[in-house]
Amino acid sequence: MSSIDPDLDLPDQRADDLRQGAGLLRTPPRSKEAEQAALGTLMNSHGASARFVGETLETGITAEEYYWPAHATIHRAILRVRAAGDPVDPITVGEELTRSGELNRVGGASYLHTCVQSVPTSASGPRYAQIVRAKAYRRRAIDAAQKILQYAYSEEGDEEDVRALVEQELTAIVADIPGLTAEPPTVDDLYLDYVAELEGVQNGRAMGLPYGISDLDAVTSGMHPGNVTVIAAQSGVGKSTLALNAATAAAKAGARVMFSSLEMSHGELMNKLVAAEGKIPMHYLTRQGGLKAEHWTEVERLGRELFRTLPMRIHRPDSASLADIEAAARACVRADGLDLLVVDYLQLVEVQQARHITREQAVAAVSRGLKNLSVSLNCHVIALSQLNDDGLMRESRSIKNDASVVICVVRPDMDEPESSRAGEVDLVIDKNRFGPRATVTAGALMHYSRITDMNQT
């Protein structure tokens, strides 16, 4: 075991020389605790803490932003282990550093464990990384200022040379501000991309992800990233069935889908999928001895030909919090991307409520959170919502404001089993930013957990 302390692994000598040359011998901004905690978070890729690793890396932290070179060396080793697809922990990182001959230089295997043990909570990993980045930016600003001071004191060059150096250093340091927002594009910047998109729309190539019902796709142009579709209905009408059918249709088209259910278990969702795709009556799947030999053959075929390659993930949150859904969605993005997120349903999702917040305000916060998530992850979100008996969305009218498309599901035969429209469902498009408001009639094969085009019933 090495007794080397990373404190003895001195930082960049050139920067120290500049500080001394300018007569400024003050301690540069740094936080050993934040650097250790950031590294400790990155070396904890097991269990529930794994999701915070990706979020910490998403801050943009790089090896060059650590003050202590030993920490930079550990960060690079973490990235190599991660790139190899191996779990990242003190043992695997230690093996990688041993292979590269750097373990003793960073303080030995014990120091890796010290970093992990220094983490107060992995959930704050992104915050630790942001502190590291902020300190690094301050050091870069100091170094740029000292470089300008040293050149100005040297009497070298003329005023044009000094001006050029000042402009170069300040431009670089401003451009490197963590989280700096770039200026918005001009309409001229947008024009060529707009024309290409417009041509695609006119030629029928720019349809969004399919809902799986042709008339609905035609009226709405499908599902587009950064937008939210709200499917609203009273209990038992079929909003979950419509959403799961849409998720399956999108996944069949190649979209990467996450279906987050706060109401149904994995088994219940799989029953719905098998019934819809295998055309096996739901009650055959849920009662003893209900499946005949031909049904088992169909179940086996679905596993082999569909489910094995269908890019759909089923998320059953440990809790009903918006934070859990967001964390799972970001994990999907890191794994292989995410094009469609389905949340079943809005009124069951919880947010961290401040004191005295009303239920309506809480649901509005969930709705706004999902809209923001669709934008930040560049995916489409389908959010299910309960309807009151009066036909209004329960507890929050703001849900409609955040949505691009609102579809109210109405079944004429719910109250009239002998209705001439038995087996039909009306999809009332109450809001549509991509086209007109309209009503699409579809077939309701509820015994198959399936809502489909009328000509397929």
User: Which of the residue ranges 8-17, 128-137, 226-235 would you say has the lowest mean pLDDT?
Assistant: 8-17
Q: Which two tokens stand for residue 311?
A: 């890019």
Q: Is the pLDDT of residue 98 over 80?
A: yes
DSSP state of 182: P
* Total tally of structural domains belonging to the chain: 2
- Is 68 within a domain? yes
Structural domain of residue 25, as residue ranges? 6-175
Q: Higher-confidence residue: 184 or 149?
A: 149
Q: What is the pLDDT of residue 105?
A: 92
Same domain, 233 and 145: no
Q: Within 13 A of 48's CA, how many CA atoms are on the CB side?
A: 7
Q: What mean pLDDT do residues 63-70 have?
A: 93
Same domain, 236 and 166: no
Q: Are 345 and 386 in contact (CB under 8 A)?
A: yes
Same domain, 168 and 49: yes
Q: What is the pLDDT of residue 236?
A: 83
Confidence tier at 2 by pLDDT (50, 70, 90): very low
Q: What are phi and psi of 151, to 5 degrees?
A: -70, -40
The 10 Å Cβ neighbour count of residue 127 is: 16
Confidence tier at 25 by pLDDT (50, 70, 90): low
Q: What is the pLDDT of residue 169?
A: 75
Mean pLDDT over all residues of the chain? 83
Q: What is the pLDDT of residue 67?
A: 94
User: Which of the residue ranges 56-70, 73-87, 153-167 would you say has the lowest mean pLDDT?
Assistant: 153-167
- Is 184 within a domain? no
DSSP class per residue in 121-169: -GGGHHHHHHHHHHHHHHHHHHHHHHHHHHHHHHT-S-HHHHHHHHHHH
Q: What mean pLDDT do residues 43-63 have?
A: 82
Q: What is the pLDDT of residue 3?
A: 45
Same domain, 40 and 153: yes
Q: Is the pLDDT of residue 18 over 50?
A: no
Q: What is the pLDDT of residue 153?
A: 83
- Is 196 within a domain? no
Length of the chain, in residues: 457
Helix (H, G, I), strand (E, B) or coil at 406: strand
- Is 235 within a domain? yes
Distance from C-alpha of 138 to C-alpha of 130, rounded to nearest angstrom: 12
Same domain, 326 and 221: yes
Distance from C-alpha of 47 to C-alpha of 50, rounded to nearest angstrom: 6
Same domain, 251 and 385: yes
- Is 189 within a domain? no
Which CATH number covers residue 396? 3.40.50.300
- Is 131 within a domain? yes
Same domain, 157 and 261: no
Same domain, 115 and 236: no
Q: What is the pLDDT of residue 419?
A: 77
Q: Is the pLDDT of residue 15 over 80?
A: no
Q: What is the pLDDT of residue 7?
A: 53
For 128-180, the pLDDT digits (tens) are 999 999 999 889 888 888 888 888 788 777 777 777 777 777 766 666 665 55
Q: Is the pLDDT of residue 391 over 60?
A: no
- Is 263 within a domain? yes
Q: What mean pLDDT do residues 396-411 have?
A: 84
DSSP state of 305: I
For 326-383, the pLDDT digits (tens) are 888 888 888 888 999 999 877 778 765 545 667 777 777 788 888 888 988 889 999 9
Q: Are 401 and 370 in contact (CB under 8 A)?
A: no
The CA-CA-CA angle for residues 176, 181, 184, to 5°, reads 130
Same domain, 239 and 165: no
Same domain, 171 and 91: yes
Residue type, 230: V
- Is 197 within a domain? no
Q: What mean pLDDT do residues 424-428 have?
A: 90
Q: Is the pLDDT of residue 306 over 80?
A: yes
Q: What are phi and psi of 317, to 5 degrees?
A: -60, 150
Same domain, 239 and 336: yes
Which CATH number covers residue 127? 1.10.860.10
Q: What is the pTM of this model?
A: 0.63
Same domain, 219 and 347: yes
Q: Which two tokens stand for residue 238?
A: 């079929």
Q: What percent of the chain has pLDDT over 70?
A: 86
Q: What is the pLDDT of residue 38?
A: 94
For 240-278, the pLDDT digits (tens) are 999 999 999 999 999 999 999 888 888 888 999 999 998
